[in-house]
Chains A and B, each alone.
Chain A
């Protein structure tokens, strides 16, 4: 039996737990700031440090964001949200318990639609609850001891738990991307996986195709990129299939994904699983959320990716494919729309944004939010192109320079002498000069050697250093040569 057929006997069953750091300015239970990457332990307040006698006070902004998310996946929002203590010891967990939610999570059942291999599928979301993030343990700073950075401690997290509805690593990635786009379009998270703003645990099991019972699952912890989610899940599926094909049982356990070796390995078995001893957090009273509050948030939800995709199609005449790419991130969507409303030709704008502009971003490994070319620069450039002030090749050159130098479009055209000559009289004069300088070629052309048309175009371009509008050149040259 080849591995391929062995594989095709099995059906993977996957569920994701996604931790989304909410972009509140202050922490979920204290007023310390939540900035990333600043000096270690400089933004942990006495509450985040869990000093004796401190008490948590819930950040209302985090509630609002959780409710926003709940509304956007059509979930039930709980009218009372209860916080609970999840008890475990770890050096980067200052209180020895994490304030989280167990019963009555703020967001109940909902769903999102994903598309994978051109098939649409509804993925159930079991719940989403609020909790506080832990700090970070740093194990490679000192030889014989570990360092703790508590800046992250108390950052609000929304943990989104899916149903085991996913059937492949690809579907898992599509689902993760969907959640990513929802939280970024809602502006409740920056979604930056490299900074840990969005992290994911994957529950993976396999079963024989056609079976309805689930197999024993393993949980892969803390995967932090789309690519790794796919790789980790695929590795785990194969690992489990290999075990099952040897008639062995899958051990229910927690595993870690090692991205360097591309493998998962055991972290702790079920027997060593923590007993978290959840109980209601007595320092916080149950949160009352009124229907009126929920409805107000529902009414003021921003446009979500799906709505934007269809609106861009109807409003700007995009294809679904183009619209989906342009709405793959909030930054790109906003950038495109800024450009689209100000350019004279949207079709060209789409072509440029998806083509050369995206290429420059990719080449520089840069998000559109951090683009060195502003939307107004691109608008200027596209409008110059539309008005035939510059040629396509010249526009490419301008784009490159815009990225590298702090100059305006007009300044670059001026400085690099890229202005396109499209005045018919000027071009006519240049063509006459070229023709009179090349009598031999003219003779041959007239005798039927039509290939030489290209020679004349080349000569005109050479004379004008490429700045003549090719359309005009073609038109006038044709007239003159056929006179």
Chain B
């Protein structure tokens, strides 16, 4: 059984096309595996109608989409009509969405089967999956370790063969860091490539949906489906989606930019060596590398931790106990209703970020924090633009460490530093991917490729070529 659920997407599609397996059988296998791995706590809720839906899809006369009948998982940040959508929070513990997100709809129209909705850090705020109201997720490779966050449930589910691929969101690294921790492939496309409609907002100018899968090629197939302009999202980009699968497998030449200044500063020797080894593999196989400079990158983290909380402080104002979501018992008056609903409904990390954001936007502090952070953001975007004049992709480690032990990081700033290499791509709105590149202390490490605006094809292509040369992802 494990053979089939551990197959990559391409192979599963082949089996379904040749009718060697039905979607019903495939779905049953995954559901069984989910049951057996309940301890990992990957799912917040399961889709009770999954098998029925698989049956209906099996009865369709012809195949209408490449992923027809493929069982997948959605991060519980995507609204699904009629299903609980909790965003990992007590605030939305019982929220049943009356509408569906574009990401869900596109995959649903492609006849995938939603097995369930995956666990996550509360409102996507966290890098370890420990801030979830529904408990932490365990890393399938070592259950004492964190799967990363915020999309830890999706990453762990893909790694543990609990779904064929999964959706996630990435505001500062929430796809790439968990992908790195769990040893799978995770891609965050260009900001605006995938519609944010129905995806619960954390920081609107940074949030972007993406895919977790077993390989770059699998990611390409899934990403193409969820990409595209959506008139319901004013920030989505009106640009044709290329055939990503074709671009991924094509014979592209690359000039790989390496920001050596940053690499040299990596403290963890294993991480540094692993990265340099990966670059060597690429060079040995004929890929050109080029040293580049990315000034201002040191300022990414502080500017991110102004902009993201600022936006989140407004985005989370709607959770006020008035119209939906959690409401405190017996409020004395309106003030009491607001204060207790939000004090009781939000977890500590969320409250912390709301406070930071509110502070940064307050009269007298706006210029010093928010405006300055936006200026840095513009400079970082510009420095990437300059770098891409000379290279086709940029390589960096995904994270400065491998998966850490659950509960081991208590200092919030240490936790925020998890995103140090992933945040720049969010600030600049660029596509970035993390692929497995080896191990440190038996936990996986990730190699990150950042691409130019709308050039997902190029980072998928280099990742695919790397995965042809290595077997870290298998």
Contact = CB atoms under 8 A, between A and B. Distances in A.
Given A89-B320, A96-B320, A277-B362, A52 B79 contact: yes
Nearest to B338: A89
Interface string A74-108: 00000000000101010100111100000000000
B115 interface: no
A94 B204 CA distance: 18
A25 to B, nearest CB: 18
Contact of B231 (A57, A89, A91, A148): A57
A118 interface: no
Contacts of A52: 79, 85, 87, 92, 95, 97, 200-201, 318, 324
Interface in B129-180: none
A51 interface: yes
Interface residues of B, number: 43
B323 A94 contact: yes
Contacts, number: 101
Nearest to A274: B363
B204 A283 contact: yes
B317 A95 contact: yes
Contacts of B92: 52
B314 A96 contact: yes
A89 B472 CA distance: 50
Contacts of A96: 314, 316-318, 320
Contacts of B200: 52-53
Given A87-B361, A96-B318, A53 B197 contact: yes
A53 B201 contact: yes
A279 interface: yes
A282 B429 CA distance: 13
B234 A55 contact: yes
A284 B99 CA distance: 21
Contacts of A57: 231-232, 234
Contacts of A58: 234
Interface in B185-211: 196-201, 203-205
B467 interface: no
A53 B323 contact: no
A275 B362 contact: yes
A46 interface: yes
A91 B334 contact: yes
Determine which residue in B232, B314, B366 has the highest number of CB atoms from chain A within 10 A of its CB, and name it.
B314
12 contacts: A49-B323, A50-B318, A51-B324, A52-B85, A52-B87, A55-B196, A55-B197, A94-B318, A96-B314, A277-B363, A279-B310, A285-B234
The 6 A-B pairs at the shortest CB distance, nearest first, are namely A96-B317, A277-B361, A282-B204, A282-B205, A53-B198, A52-B200
Interface of B: 78-79, 85, 87, 92, 95, 97-99, 101, 196-201, 203-205, 231-235, 310-311, 313-314, 316-318, 320, 322-324, 334, 338, 358, 361-363, 366, 370
Interface of A: 46, 49-58, 85, 87, 89, 91, 94-97, 148, 275, 277-279, 282-285
